[in-house]
Structure 1
Amino acid sequence: MRVSFVRKLAMASVFALGVGAVAESGAMAGVTEAMLRNVPAGEWLSYGRDYAEQRYSPLTQINEYNVDQLGLAWYSDLDTARGQEATPLVHDGVLYVSTAWSMVKAYDAKTGKPLWAYDPKVPRETLVRTCCDAVNRGVALYGDKVFVAALDGRLIALDQKTGSVIWSKVTVPDQTNYTITGAPRIVKGRVLIGAAGSEYKARGYIAAYDPENGKEVWRFNTVPGNPAKGFGVEGLNKAAHEAAAKTWGNKWWTLGGGGTVWDSITYDPETNLVLFGTGNAEPWNPAANGREGDSLYTSSIVAVNADTGQYAWHFQETPEDRWDFDSDQQITIADVNINGEKRHVAMHAPKNGHVYVLDVKTGRFLSATPWVPVNWTTGIDPETGRPTINPDAKYEKTGKPFISAPGAVGAHSWQPQSYSPKTGYLYIPTNVAAFPYAAAAGWKPTDIGFQTGTDGAKVAMPADLKIQAQFKAGTTGQLVAWDVANKKAAWTVDYTGPSNGGVLSTAGNLVFQGTASGDFNAYTANKGEKLWSFPAQTGIIAAPMTYAVDGEQYVAIMVGWGGVWDIATGVLANKAGTTRNISRLLVFKLGAKGQLPAPPPMNEMVLDPPAFTGTMAQVTKGASLYGRYCSVCHGDAAVSGGLNPDLRHSGVIGSAEALKAIVLGGQLHELGMVSFKSALKAPDAEAIRMYLIKRANEDKALASR
Structure 2
Amino acid sequence: MNLRNLLWPMLATLALSACGKPSDPASTAATSEPAVTAPASDKPAAAVDGARIIAADQEPGSWMSYGRTYDEQRFSPLTKIDKANVSKLGLAWHYKLDVDRATEATPIVVDGVMYVTGAFSIVSALDPVTGKELWKYDPKVARDKDRDGCCDVANRGVAVWKGRVYFGAYDGRLIALDARSGAKVWEVDTVVDHERSYTISGAPRVANGKVLIGNGGAELGVRGYVTAYDAESGKQLWRFFTVPGNPSKPAENKAMEMAKATWKGDVYWKFGGGGTVWDSIVYDPELDLVYIGVGNGSPWARDVRSPGGGDNLFLSSIVALKAETGEYVWHYQTTPGDDWDYTATQHIMLAELPINGTKRKVLMQAPKNGFFYVIDRATGELLSADKFAPANWASHVDMKTGRPVETAGGDWSKEGKLISPGPIGAHNWQPMSYNPQTGYVYIPMQEAIAYMAPSAGEKKFTGKGNWHLGGESIALPEDPKELAGAAAAHKGHLIAWDPVAKKEVWRQSYETIWNGGTLSTAGGLVFQGTADGRFVAYSADKGEKLWESPANTGVMAGPMTYEIDGEQYVTVAAGWGGAFPLALGGIYEPAKVRAEARVLTYKIGGTDTLPPPKNNVIAQPEPPELKADEKTVAKGRELYNANCGMCHGPNAIASSVLPDLRYLTPEKHQMFAGILAGAFAQKGMPSVMDKFTAEDVEAVHQYVIKRAHDLKKELSAKEAAAVPKT
Cα offsets for 1:451-503 (capped at 9, x unmatched): 1122225xx11122332222221211100100111011111000111101110
Secondary structure (helix, strand or coil) at the match of 2:661 reads: coil
Q: 1:687 aligns with which of 673, 687, 699?
A: 699
**Corresponding letter in the other structure for 2:100:** A
CA distance in 1, matches of 2:658, 2:616: 16
**Corresponding letter in the other structure for 2:247:** P
Cα offsets for 1:371-420 (capped at 9, x unmatched): 11111123221222311222232222x2x222211111111010000001
**8 Å CA contact retained: 1:168, 1:214:** yes
CA distance in 2, matches of 1:289, 1:141: 39
Deviation at 1:47, TM superposition (A): 0.6
Q: 1:306 aligns with which of 323, 344, 347?
A: 323
**Corresponding letter in the other structure for 2:286:** E
Q: Given the superposition, is the C-alpha separation of residues 260 and 653 from structure 1 closer, same or farther in structure 2, using an over 3 Å criterion?
A: farther
Structure 1 partner of 2:31: none
Structure 2 partner of 1:578: 592
Indicate yes or no: 2:654 matched with 1:640. Answer: yes
**8 Å CA contact retained: 1:638, 1:648:** yes
Deviation at 1:607, TM superposition (A): 6.6
Q: Aligned ranges for residues 350-429 of structure 1 at < 5 Å?
A: 350-396=367-413, 398=414, 400-429=415-444
Structure 1 spans left out of the alignment, 5+ residues: 1-24
Q: 1:219 aligns with which of 239, 249, 255?
A: 239
Secondary structure (helix, strand or coil) at the match of 1:693 reads: helix
Deviation at 1:658, TM superposition (A): 2.7
**Corresponding letter in the other structure for 1:637:** N
Structure 2 partner of 1:446: 462
Indicate yes or no: 2:274 matched with 1:258. Answer: yes
Indicate yes or no: 2:303 matched with 1:283. Answer: no
Q: Given the superposition, is the C-alpha separation of residues 608 and 570 from structure 1 closer, same or farther in structure 2, using an over 3 Å criterion?
A: farther
Indicate yes or no: 2:608 matched with 1:603. Answer: no
CA distance in 1, matches of 2:286, 2:585: 46
CA distance in 2, matches of 1:93, 1:344: 33
**Corresponding letter in the other structure for 1:253:** W
CA distance in 2, matches of 1:378, 1:491: 23
Secondary structure (helix, strand or coil) at the match of 2:53 reads: helix
Cα offsets for 1:429-451 (capped at 9, x unmatched): 11111122122222143113211
Give the CA RMSD over aligned residues.
1.7
**Corresponding letter in the other structure for 1:567:** L
Q: Aligned ranges for residues 179-218 of structure 1 at < 5 Å?
A: 179-218=199-238
Structure 2 spans left out of the alignment, 5+ residues: 1-40, 718-726
Q: Aligned ranges for residues 316-331 of structure 1 at < 5 Å?
A: 316-331=333-348
Cα offsets for 1:49-85 (capped at 9, x unmatched): 1111100001111111111111111111112111110
**Corresponding letter in the other structure for 2:577:** G
Structure 2 partner of 1:67: 86
Deviation at 1:111, TM superposition (A): 2.0
**Corresponding letter in the other structure for 1:288:** V
Q: 1:509 aligns with which of 514, 524, 533?
A: 524
Secondary structure (helix, strand or coil) at the match of 1:228 reads: coil
Secondary structure (helix, strand or coil) at the match of 1:97 reads: strand
CA distance in 2, matches of 1:463, 1:537: 29
Cα offsets for 1:144-169 (capped at 9, x unmatched): 10001000011000001000000111
Indicate yes or no: 2:710 matched with 1:698. Answer: yes
Deviation at 1:290, TM superposition (A): 4.7
CA distance in 2, matches of 1:363, 1:450: 33
Q: 1:491 aligns with which of 490, 493, 506?
A: 506
CA distance in 2, matches of 1:163, 1:321: 42
**8 Å CA contact retained: 2:139, 2:169:** yes
Structure 2 partner of 1:523: 538
**8 Å CA contact retained: 2:114, 2:128:** yes
Q: Which moved more, 1:430-439 or 1:418-427?
A: 430-439
**Corresponding letter in the other structure for 1:645:** P
Secondary structure (helix, strand or coil) at the match of 1:369 reads: strand
**Corresponding letter in the other structure for 1:553:** Q
TM-score (norm: length of structure 1): 0.92
**Corresponding letter in the other structure for 1:187:** A
CA distance in 2, matches of 1:702, 1:368: 47
CA distance in 1, matches of 2:402, 2:184: 46
Structure 1 partner of 2:678: 666
CA distance in 1, matches of 2:339, 2:144: 28
Q: Given the superposition, is the C-alpha separation of residues 637 and 209 from structure 1 closer, same or farther in structure 2, using an over 3 Å criterion?
A: same
Indicate yes or no: 2:287 matched with 1:271. Answer: yes
Q: Given the superposition, is the C-alpha separation of residues 600 and 469 from structure 1 closer, same or farther in structure 2, using an over 3 Å criterion?
A: closer
**8 Å CA contact retained: 1:365, 1:384:** no
**8 Å CA contact retained: 2:92, 2:601:** yes
**8 Å CA contact retained: 1:157, 1:168:** yes
Structure 1 partner of 2:33: none
Q: 1:87 aligns with which of 106, 113, 120?
A: 106
Structure 2 partner of 1:12: none
Secondary structure (helix, strand or coil) at the match of 2:611 reads: coil
Structure 2 partner of 1:36: 53
**Corresponding letter in the other structure for 2:424:** V
Cα offsets for 1:621-674 (capped at 9, x unmatched): 22222222111211122211111111122237985x7332222x2111112221
Cα offsets for 1:349-370 (capped at 9, x unmatched): 0011111111101111111111
Deviation at 1:699, TM superposition (A): 3.6
**8 Å CA contact retained: 1:607, 1:696:** no
**Corresponding letter in the other structure for 2:576:** W
Secondary structure (helix, strand or coil) at the match of 2:659 reads: coil
Q: Given the superposition, is the C-alpha separation of residues 200 and 588 from structure 1 closer, same or farther in structure 2, using an over 3 Å criterion?
A: same
Structure 2 partner of 1:626: 640
Indicate yes or no: 2:95 matched with 1:76. Answer: yes
**8 Å CA contact retained: 2:168, 2:200:** yes
Cα offsets for 1:276-307 (capped at 9, x unmatched): 11110010123334543221101111110111
Secondary structure (helix, strand or coil) at the match of 1:700 reads: helix
**8 Å CA contact retained: 1:248, 1:294:** yes
Q: Given the superposition, is the C-alpha separation of residues 289 and 277 from structure 1 closer, same or farther in structure 2, using an over 3 Å criterion?
A: closer
Q: Given the superposition, is the C-alpha separation of residues 154 and 372 from structure 1 closer, same or farther in structure 2, using an over 3 Å criterion?
A: same
Q: Given the superposition, is the C-alpha separation of residues 674 and 578 from structure 1 closer, same or farther in structure 2, using an over 3 Å criterion?
A: closer
Q: Given the superposition, is the C-alpha separation of residues 483 and 314 from structure 1 closer, same or farther in structure 2, using an over 3 Å criterion?
A: same
Q: Which moved more, 1:172-181 or 1:273-282?
A: 172-181
Structure 2 partner of 1:3: none
Structure 2 partner of 1:105: 124
Structure 2 partner of 1:15: none
Q: Given the superposition, is the C-alpha separation of residues 245 and 167 from structure 1 closer, same or farther in structure 2, using an over 3 Å criterion?
A: same
Tell me the percent identity: 47
Structure 2 partner of 1:593: 607
Structure 2 partner of 1:125: 144
CA distance in 1, matches of 2:237, 2:668: 54
Aligned residues: 669
Deviation at 1:139, TM superposition (A): 0.3
Q: Given the superposition, is the C-alpha separation of residues 627 and 322 from structure 1 closer, same or farther in structure 2, using an over 3 Å criterion?
A: farther
**Corresponding letter in the other structure for 1:661:** G
**8 Å CA contact retained: 1:463, 1:702:** no
CA distance in 1, matches of 2:481, 2:390: 23
CA distance in 2, matches of 1:686, 1:319: 43
Deviation at 1:99, TM superposition (A): 0.9
**8 Å CA contact retained: 1:262, 1:328:** yes
Q: Which moved more, 1:339-348 or 1:149-158?
A: 339-348
Structure 2 partner of 1:346: 363
